């Protein structure tokens, strides 16, 4: 079996802003192998980004994070001290942010950032290494980019530079948080093409966070679907698209196919996701589900194992 790059068991994350307890991630399990791309998909507020931030232990101040296991490669992310976590960020888990501007010091040139990252790996002759890294992400004019400040680069170029610097630290896991959301369609396709190539050439595992099922289908080996803080289905991309098991996954795929077909009217789900501040019993999707049963609201719904490694949180399969 391929080496595990990421193992998470029972991850729970709660926030407490202004005395309100917000349960943003619930009992989350994830496994990710080297060379694999796992898509984490769901609508806004489903807990995707908070899951990614938790893997770097960058949860907000005052948050309460608990888990049974959180490991990236050989690194224990759950019990590490703050000084140890600072060393692990980048080397064990790296993150490509949705907005690359915030990942750079605006007062420093890209060369300064490259020197800092490569210096952490003990590379003193950093410029040739930096030029190779930029070439690997399809940046031809490396001298100009290294000599530029972040604001002097386009969004697509800055995103490529960020990808290069994240990969420079050789992390076991790369979290990519909607890295194409703020880019135009042409640049988005270029960045996705770059990710498809990197998944073949890099030894890292990628957790690709997105709200776009079509993007996930084009890039990911497996997909985990999140809803209201929970993973409600996980399986290979082919399994989910050919035979989705959860009604919410069915709705996401129906919408993706309608968009691809150019229809003017998209399928809609009634209602809204449950509040993360409210107590919960039963299935989080039950109030919107066209196939709900009385048992759906009585008790927490476990993940049910299907064929292979596929699992679904739905009593239709119980």
Per-residue pLDDT tens listing for the chain (318 residues): 458 999 999 999 999 877 788 999 999 999 999 989 999 999 889 999 999 999 999 999 889 999 999 999 999 999 999 999 999 999 999 999 888 898 999 999 999 999 999 998 899 999 999 999 999 999 989 999 999 999 999 999 999 999 999 999 889 999 999 988 878 888 888 888 888 888 888 878 999 999 988 889 999 999 999 999 999 999 999 999 999 999 999 999 988 888 777 676 767 788 889 988 888 889 999 999 999 999 999 888 999 999 888 999 999 997
pLDDT at 61 (0 to 100): 87
SS (H, E, C) 72-116: ECCEECCCCCHHHHHHHECCCEEEECCCHHHHCCCCCCHHHHHHH
**Tokens standing for 279?**
């107590």
Residues 139, 160: contact at Cβ < 8 Å? yes
229 contacts: CB under 8 Å, gap ≥ 6? 23, 24, 25, 26, 46, 47, 276, 284
How far apart are the C-alpha atoms of 226 and 5, rounded to whole Å?
21
**3-state per-residue secondary structure call for 220-266:** CCEEEEEECCEEEEEEEHHHHHHCCCCHHHHHHHHHHHHHHHCCCCC
* Per-residue model confidence (pLDDT) at position 28: 96
pTM for this predicted structure: 0.92
Tokens 């972040």 belong to 150
């Amino acid at each position: 079996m391929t080496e595990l790059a990421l193992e998470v068991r029972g991850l729970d994350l709660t926030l407490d802003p202004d005395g309100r307890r917000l349960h943003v991630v619930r009992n989350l399990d994830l496994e990710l192998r080297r060379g694999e791309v796992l898509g984490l998909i769901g609508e806004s507020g489903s807990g995707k980004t908070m899951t990614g931030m938790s893997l770097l232990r960058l949860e907000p101040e005052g948050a309460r994070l608990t888990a049974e296991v959180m490991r990236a490669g050989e690194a224990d992310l759950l019990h590490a001290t703050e000084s140890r976590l600072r060393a692990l960020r980048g080397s064990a888990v790296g993150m490509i942010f949705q907005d690359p501007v915030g990942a750079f010091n605006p007062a420093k040139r890209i060369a300064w950032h490259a020197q800092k990252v490569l210096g952490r790996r003990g590379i003193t002759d950093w410029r040739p290494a930096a030029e190779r890294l930029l070439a690997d992400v399809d940046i031809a004019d490396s001298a100009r980019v290294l000599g530029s400040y972040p604001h002097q680069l386009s969004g697509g170029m800055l995103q490529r530079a960020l990808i290069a610097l994240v990969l420079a630290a050789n992390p076991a896991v790369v979290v990519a948080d909607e890295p194409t959301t703020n880019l135009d369609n042409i640049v988005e396709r270029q960045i996705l093409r770059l990710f498809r190539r990197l998944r073949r050439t890099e030894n890292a595992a990628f957790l690709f966070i997105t709200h776009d099922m079509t993007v996930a289908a084009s890039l990911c080996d497996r997909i985990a679907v999140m809803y209201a803080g929970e993973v409600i289905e996980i399986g290979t991309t082919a399994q989910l698209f050919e035979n989705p098991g959860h009604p919410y996954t069915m709705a996401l795929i129906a919408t993706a196919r309608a968009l691809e077909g150019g229809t003017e009217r998209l399928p809609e789900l009634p209602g809204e996701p449950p509040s993360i501040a409210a107590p919960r019993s039963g299935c989080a999707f039950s109030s919107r589900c066209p196939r709900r049963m009385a048992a759906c609201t009585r008790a927490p719904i476990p993940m049910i194992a299907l064929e292979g490694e596929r699992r679904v949180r739905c009593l239709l399969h119980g």
